[in-house]
Structure 1
């Protein structure tokens, strides 16, 4: 288990512990996604055929003359919809706040940028295009070679070459410590487990100060507005609580500076803990208030 634990430093200087997804969960998520896409495209194809058949019957057209044109039109539409679905399914969902497709969410994993920033469209596009090169193109090639063999055609060494191509990419995640596939290496991403912590535990105040009054050091009373508190979510709150509980001065100074840069404050040095305690207390209060109205902010990207 500890071999899959990684530490991510966000651009704001916050330290987030992550658990890398297992290879089995990644494969399971992909299989689920393939089933969803295939089922959706099959249902769309059947509906299209029924619709065009009904249109032809209602227009009184001669099936012998119109069936070929209708079939060609349905085929063109199916190809376009299939292309849009194949790439749109992954891109739209992985660029969303959850960073995961339906299959990934069901198995409890998501994509994250290894640099700690937000997933960019370029990264998501790159990793999905590379998936075709890694898996699906060689699979299609092997099926074509198999079809030729069934018909008695000799493909020579082509089948072995394509099989080696597929094998190299399938084994790639087993030869690096982060279980990255080639698409992750190119895109600068990794796949991690989604935190399963309940909100009550995330918003626990045990061990962390709840000071909303004036600072004992400077006498300043820190009050943050909606704009400042809307920057962070539950995950950052949990990290801040852990830092306050540990109380390491260097870590508190680094996080204090990062938050000040993020929200546009310049309170000066020497009062970092009071500032962070007030920020923690007011952020916690805001998140809990939003929960009562069914609003949740998982992290700063939500």
Structure 2
């Protein structure tokens, strides 16, 4: 039996493996997140939101109740209560929508729930995950979760009659959309051009920093030295570093050649042919060192657009 499929988990992961060609022409493998993992991540995220809302609500009630009671004039008391109410509504809105948007727009593309189960949001074309895509996939969450639940809970009471039942069935289609497609995509994923994939948890330094040019800055084949200036390394960020890491791990000659040519065009180099891997290893090691150095001082470059 093939070692790669020796366990049920590995066999299931192989069925969920997809190959995506990026806008740069690079073939990257992804493993679509399991439906059970996505459900678990959603439960964790909503538990975090609910606990946070309860704690903040209790703190606000304890903090401002005494302030309002100490006010002598009824007009001032009413104005303070109205301000607190508006601030509380804004907080609930941010807790409901801002939680998912802020985390998924981050460099990891994942909420705490997704990170705990090893998932992240990615663009289906292999490109950069944009803010527009994250907003689009999350705005449909009400149609996919809350409205179906409302109709399911009110249907037994007979409210709405046949129209209510028809609406319930319609919204259940959105709720169960991820069950009936092979990539486990929500309706929001379909609209936004995203999907949820497994996030690799392997360490990068141990696998690449000890090989050839990644360690010495020179090629073991030709002896050429590859030293890149700050301006040349500044054209790429964390996303491109991860893409380059995947290409080096896969070790496919055609992908390595294509990526090397793309980087050379971008930075204005012409190192010649036959030494692409050493070139990429050196560029990877020096780009990683630059990004890690910036992170120590609070500077992060998410991708080439930032």
TM class by shorter chain equals 0.7 to 0.9
CA shift in 2, pair 1:241/1:113, >3 Å: same
| Residue 167 in structure 1 maps to residue 177 in structure 2 | no
Q: Distance in 1 between matches of 2:34 and 2:155?
A: 32
Q: Aligned residue for 2:274?
A: 273
Deviates more, 1:21-30 or 1:201-210: 201-210
Q: Tell me whether 92-101 or 271-280 shows the greater mean CA deviation.
A: 271-280
Kept after mapping to 2: 8 A contact 1:203/1:237 = no
Q: 1:73 to 1:297 in 2, by over 3 A?
A: closer
Q: Is the CA contact (8 Å cut-off) linking 1:126 and 1:187 kept in structure 2?
A: yes
The 8 Å contact of residues 211 and 274 in structure 1, kept in 2 or not, is answered as no
Deviation at 1:220, TM superposition (A): 6.0
Q: CA 1:126/1:290 → structure 2, altered by over 3 Å: closer, same or farther?
A: closer
Q: 1:56 aligns with which of 68, 89, 113?
A: 68
Q: 1:118 to 1:61 in 2, by over 3 A?
A: same
Alignment of 1:255-266 (within 5 A): 255-261=259-265, 263-266=266-269
Structure 2 residue runs of 5 or longer lacking an equivalent are 1-12
Q: Which has the higher contact order (CA 8 A, sep 6+)?
A: 1
Q: Is 1:105 aligned with 2:112?
A: no
Deviates more, 1:31-40 or 1:70-79: 70-79
TM-score for the superposition, normalised by structure 1:
0.79
Please name the residue that 1:34 is paired with: 46
Moved more, 43-52 or 184-193: 43-52
The aligned length equals 288
Contact kept? 2:208, 2:281, Cα under 8 Å:
no
C-alpha displacement of 1:102: 1.6
Distance 2:87 2:123 in 1: 35
5+ unaligned residues in a row in structure 1: which ranges?
none
Separation of aligned partners in 2, 1:255 and 1:111: 24
Which whole-Å deviations, capped at 9, do the CAs of 1:2-36 have from their partners, x for residues lacking one? 11111233333333221111111111111111122
User: How much has 1:93 moved relative to structure 2?
Assistant: 1.1
- From 176, 182, 186, the equivalent of 1:181 is 186
Report the 3-state secondary structure (helix = DSSP H, G, I; strand = E; otherwise coil) of the residue aligned with 1:8.
strand
Please say which of residues 201-210 and 271-280 is displaced more in the overlay.
201-210
2:270 counterpart SS class? coil
